[in-house]
Structure 1
Amino acid sequence: MKFIITILATSLLIFSCGDKSNESSKSTGNGTGNQSTGTATAAGGTTAGGASGTSGAAGSTAGATASGGTGSTSAGTGTTGSTAGGTGTSKPPENTKFSKGPYGIGVKDILGEWTVATLDGDFEFKKHFDGSESYFFVMYAGTHNYSKALWGSSFANFIKATPKNVRLFLLSYNSTFKKDLEDQKKRFLNDIKSLDQKTQDHFKERVHFVVEDARKIKGALGDVIRKRPGLFFGLDRNQRIRELGSLSYMNSPPAFQWMAKEAEFFNFEIEREKKLNTKAKIVKAMDNFIHKGGWGSTHSSTFDVELPAKNDIEKYDTLLVDFDMSCEDHLDKNCPDWDHTARLFLCRKDDEKKCDLEVARWITTYKREGRWVTDISPVLALFGEGGKRKFRYTSPNKNSLVLNFRFSNEGKGMRPVAFQEIFKGGSFNQEYNKKQKQLTFKNDGSFKKVETYAILTGHGWGKDVDNCAEFCNHVHFITLNSKEKFMREHKIAGQTYGCMNQVNNGVVPNQYGTWILGRGGWCPGMDVLPWREDLTKALVSGENTLDYKALFKGTDYTPVPHPNANKQGLNASISLNSYLIFWK
């Protein structure tokens, strides 16, 4: 569905999984500095308290005494811990997780060192950052209506929606910056009274009120703000500057709580990286390839890929496709506007002009970048004996593309060796199922597994009463030997938050369009997850039959024209390519 909203503010973000604090505050004179679960008191001097780590990460404690003051320490609860203590000039251990660079101030650059003064004392970035928390920065511009609305939005709603390992820094561009932040802290403390005490205490340590003119902040943070004087941005767990997308949805006012979805997404990114097999053989298919897009001759790009040779490819039982779609300077404003289908086809070995074997599919974002890693292991059967093969990529969007195949052996004891093309889609109406013919295949007992592999999405909206097939729950059935039925349905289709609730599965959040709405088999800014069904246990010896049909509300779909049909709408259709995959 095509709908876009205007970019109203520059944005960036960071996120982390697990609840880990490594926080300190300085106190000069007869003050008290609180640090996570540790405290430090100094008389006539400055003392830093200890740091604590949770969620199975390393924890450390440090204490110091200066100028007659006393320092207290708190122990971390991670799997490993170290303690440093002393008097006079003793220093806490260096944060070895802080990146050594190279640093920059552009989007996706690593951010260097900075320190800011807050209402609770100085905050030193290098001392705190350890890759476990997200950092958000919101700058207040009193003459900007969007900024006013964001600044006045609910802290409680943000806290209820966000992972706990988030830090929020509030700053002001105004000459009245100190009063702005004092007033904002009062509002924050009042707003979170509805939350339980434990949650209040947790976020009191993680919402920071910066009492410096945002334009005059020193260090790397100030450099970023001066280069890109927007209203919000952040850092991810890899210490990289990141955009946050749109913090408002359609015509609704902006709100802090939309940052929570970015935090959730960065958590997903970290977990995704952990699961990747570092020993996988990586074959580059596209390396910063500029796909021109459009609807004419540049809609398709063809390219050759040198797959592993026969003796090598036969070692692998697993195949992932790692696809990165980026925009100039990694800026949202330079990304294509619409959500479109992007598809990868393998050209036939006996006729390279016929590139119709679809192996993977994605739906692009509304004006944001994206990266997706998809398990397409059954496609190993299509790759056959490997070697040089031609591929075709199609999309109307212009992007810089990186596409890698990741081959690995995960000890499955078998691998895909052969395939048979089966069912295809088409216009979704009362004729759809009539066009689907029964197929047969033989089981000679030599295969360890036989499965179906289908790439399936529903499209069409605004033409019929049921808004099919983008926003309706079309249900698909594969029947083996007229007995065993395998089903794929799309329960989130048409649900208001259907796709928003898929951020933890890879949906790019905070897009500039109707990204939150559930779709029939896809979401904007996500890979299309293949529909796979294992038929092995239900096979019979010799000839087997397969039937396929798609229903809506238990029957063949008969579109009922909408009395106020959208002139830009599309008729219902099912985009389907499917295969039988044989494993040995």
Structure 2
Amino acid sequence: MGAGAGCKGETEDEGGDEAASEESGTEDTETDTGEESDTGEPPETGPCFDGLERWEWDASADHIGYDLPATDFTVETLRGPKTFSEIWNGCDNHVFVMYSANWWSTPIEPLIDDAAENTHFWFVVPSDSADFDNDMRAALVGQIAQRVEGHLESLGPEVQAAKTDTFHYVIDSGLDIPAVQGILATNPNEEHFTIGRHQKIWEGHNVAVAASGSWIPLLEQTRWWSRYINYWYGLEAELAEEAESPDVLVHRVADAVEIKGGEPYTWTLPDAATMAEYDRLEVDMFIDCPGVGHPYVATCGEWDTVGSIFLCEDAECEGDRRRVIKWITPYSAPGRWVIDITPELLELAAGGELTFISAHGDNNVGQYTYRYTVDFRFSKAEDGLRPIGKAELIPRGGYGWNENYHANWPEGFSFTAPEGTQRTELYARISGHGAVEGSQCAEFCSFTHEFSVNGTPFAHQYVQENVDRCAMLTDEGVTPNQGGTWFYDRSSWCPGWVIEEWREDLSSAVEVGAENSVAYDSWWGINNPTPPPGGNMDARVEVVFYGE
């Protein structure tokens, strides 16, 4: 895979070329005729491999820093001189990996096997001291090259041909690359960063994992940002396309506004009449680090906490509060998520200026501050149904998940679906926290919650999967390369992501206009379910009624 890695329009139809040669009676040659490929487009045009538009190189870039477009450079590599703008194709992400002896010797195979297909890796030694002259730098990157090329060869000729040219081994000092020099000048501890497919420089942050009681930096940890950047721009394209529909209203309530947890603020929504025209509501949230924003470890909240946005009943937020948005903050990093909060249309129906308060912090340092950019995205449901009422089963709260857990609701629950209800939905926001000895519940164990409506069971199993599942979900929105144990799977959530909401259609078991009984049970384990062993459930469970 060369400069056109992973993008359409970069190869010709071999069968068509052979047929043309046979028909003309001439042999194929390597002469470049300058003609267009048989796709009808010149090479390096058209959409990228994933259907997204190519991003044109911005030659006007002249400042260096995170979130800014990268400038051009030319460096000597083991394969000769390379100019970045000539390799650029507007589809690929370029990861720059800085030399350090304690991690360049770590396994390279996962990085090669599992990186997004549009990823380039640049191995650089950012030093021009006498101890790191050209010969020394060539030797260091040569060792990496030998390991990379050896593994590529073991994967077969097709993979080797596709990926060889996506690895770059820089002989010149990494400081000759403006982005490397500039980033290290402001963040000397940066070990990798990415120039994304839109030319923007993304902070790399953490590459260490916990092993044997210590933190070990690993080369394989540099593969996550490319996945996430693909997710980000895929999401941008999807949201932009949706916004073109006359049935969608995008309403921004916060634009890079710093909000500290525990302090009330106001957002202005559309008026009640406008909101009543729509059936669905999603929130597009970008929660960024405050102040200068970088490096993340110095600006963002340190811990993964339950992030919440509450709607207040009064301007001082001293009365009742309703949590309308719930997520998990990243370890020392920003995050972006789109969250469906359609049932909250009932609480937000008044529209106009409303008071909210956020919660995101820990007991040691208090509430964190984040820089919010938030869009409320209103749309019309295909079935034309919208929330018309709700019934509370489990009030929002933190409940000890132990032998006394179900004693909170000894008689179960009941609700009456109002006339006009055409669909009844379970709306459960349940997340397990804490890790008790033995089971590691309720954060690191599989567990099940079951609600039986008029005797019909509806169950959801929150599964503890492979150890790195949260890292594998970076291409679905988990913030990559956070601090801490961000990559470890949690059964019902990940740091820097939304919680696993449970929404289920109960209509088949519900009698409209009559009282419906609900029994509740929960347990942990898969093959041998046992009662709750400990930990905590942060939960709210409601039944939502939909009609016209």
Shared fold, TM over 0.5: yes
Match of 1:236 among 185, 196, 218: 196
Structure 1 SS opposite 2:109: helix
Give the conservation status (yes or no) of the 8 Å contact 1:214–1:225.
no
Q: Kindly state the Cα deviation for residue 576 of structure 1 after the two structures are TM-superposed.
A: 0.8
CA distance in 1, matches of 2:253, 2:96: 37
* Secondary structure class of the residue paired with 1:265: helix
Distance 1:290 1:522 in 2: 25
Match of 1:133 among 86, 92, 99: 92
**Counterparts of residues 394-405 of structure 1 (less than 5 Å):** 394-396=359-361, 397-405=368-376
Q: Distance in 1 between matches of 2:353 and 2:182?
A: 47
Aligned equivalents of 2:89, 2:381: Cα separation in 1: 31
- In 2, are the aligned partners of 1:233 and 1:244 still within 8 Å (CA)? yes
Matched, 1:108 2:31: no
Q: Which residue number in structure 2 is paired with residue 325 of structure 1?
A: 287
Q: Residues 403-451 of structure 1, C-alpha deviation per residue, up to 9 Å, x if partnerless? A: 3322223534222232232213512112211222433333355122221
Q: Which moved more, 1:363-372 or 1:103-112?
A: 103-112
**1:209 and 2:169 correspond:** yes
**2:124 matched residue in structure 1:** 171
CA RMSD of aligned residues (A): 3.0
C-alpha distance in 2 between matches for 1:373 and 1:444: 30
Counterparts of 2:5 and 2:476 in 1: how far apart (Å)? 27
Which residue among 77, 81, 89 is the counterpart of 1:122? Answer: 81
CA contact (8 A) 1:429 1:572 kept: yes
Q: 1:135 to 1:53 in 2, by over 3 A?
A: closer
Question: SS at 2:256's partner residue?
Answer: strand
Which blocks of at least 5 consecutive residues in structure 2 are unaligned?
Answer: 13-29, 45-53, 362-367
Residues 1:302 and 1:548: Cα distance change in structure 2 (over 3 Å): farther
Local SS of the residue matching 2:172: strand
> Could you say which residue in structure 1 is the equivalent of 2:441?
468
Q: Secondary structure at the match of 1:301?
A: coil
Paired with 2:2 and 2:150, the residues of 1 have a C-alpha distance of 26
Which residue of the partner structure matches residue 34 of structure 1?
Answer: none
Indicate whether 1:375 and 2:340 are aligned: yes
Q: Tell me: CA distance 1:343–1:444, structure 2 relative to 1, closer, same or farther (3 Å).
A: closer
**1:302 Cα shift?**
1.6
Q: 1:415 corresponds to which letter in structure 2?
A: R
Q: Is 1:347–2:307 an aligned residue pair? A: no
Q: Once the 2 structures are TM-superposed, how far is the Cα of residue 182 of structure 1 from its aligned partner? A: 3.9
The alpha-carbon deviation at position 171 of structure 1 amounts to 1.8
Choose which of 486, 492, 498 in structure 1 pairs with 2:464. 492
Q: How does 1:32-431 map to 2 (within 5 A)?
A: 57=8, 71=32, 81-82=41-42, 97-99=56-58, 104-140=63-99, 147-172=100-125, 173=127, 174-175=132-133, 176-217=136-177, 223-224=182-183, 228=187, 230-250=190-210, 251=214, 253-276=216-239, 277-279=242-244, 280-292=248-260, 299-327=261-289, 328-334=292-298, 335-348=300-313, 353-396=318-361, 397-424=368-395, 425=397, 426-431=399-404
The letter of the residue matching 1:114 is: F
SS of 1:399's equivalent? Answer: strand
Question: Which is helix-richer, 1 or 2?
Answer: 2
Q: Which amino acid aligns with 2:262?
A: S
Q: 1:420/1:131 Cα in 2 relative to 1: closer, same or farther (>3 Å)?
A: farther
Structure 1 position 223, deviation (Å):
4.4
When the two structures are superposed, what TM-score results if normalisation uses the length of structure 1? Answer: 0.76
TM superposition shift of 1:83: 6.8
Cα distance change, pair 154–440 in 1 and its aligned pair in 2 (3 A): closer
Cα separation, partners in 2 of 1:82 and 1:442, compared to 1, 3 Å? same
Greater Cα offset, 544-553 or 446-455: 544-553
| Cα contact 2:5–2:166 (8 A) shared by 1 | no
**Counterpart of 1:211 in 2: which secondary structure?**
coil
Q: Give the distance between the partners of 2:426 and 2:120, measured in 1 at CA.
A: 45
**Residue 361 of structure 1, CA deviation:** 0.9
Letter of the 2:521 partner, please give it: K
CA distance in 2, matches of 1:471, 1:96: 41
For structure 1, which runs of at least 5 residues remain unmatched after alignment?
A: 1-20, 24-51, 62-68, 85-94, 141-146, 293-298, 560-570
Contact 2:187/2:295 (CA < 8 Å) preserved in 1? no
Please report how far the alpha carbon of residue 102 of structure 1 lies from its aligned counterpart in structure 2 after TM superposition: 5.6
Judging changes above 3 Å, is the alpha-carbon distance between structure 1 residues 225 and 124 closer, same or farther for their aligned structure 2 residues?
A: farther
> 1:101: Cα distance to partner?
5.9
Q: Which amino acid aligns with 2:523?
A: L
Residue identity in the other structure for 2:98 = M
User: In structure 2, what residue type is equivalent to 1:112?
Assistant: T
Change (3 A) 1:526 1:449: same
Tell me, in whole angstroms, the C-alpha distance in 1 between the residues paired with 2:310 and 2:490. Answer: 23
Q: How many residues align?
A: 490
Counting only pairs closer than 5 Å after superposition, residues 467-546 of structure 1 correspond to structure 2 as 467-482=440-455, 484-492=456-464, 495-543=466-514, 544-546=516-518
Alignment-mate amino acid for residue 478 of structure 1: F
Q: Distance in 1 between matches of 2:187 and 2:35?
A: 39
Query: What TM-score, normalized by structure 2, do the two folds share?
Result: 0.81
Distance 1:491 1:318 in 2: 28
Distance in 2 of aligned mates of 1:54 and 1:161: 15
Whether the 8 Å CA contact 1:59–1:75 is kept in 2: the answer is no
By how many angstroms is 1:492 displaced?
A: 1.6
Partner Cα distance (1:107, 1:307) in 2: 32
Could you tell me the percent identity over the aligned residues?
24
Contact 1:284/1:305 (<8 A) preserved:
no
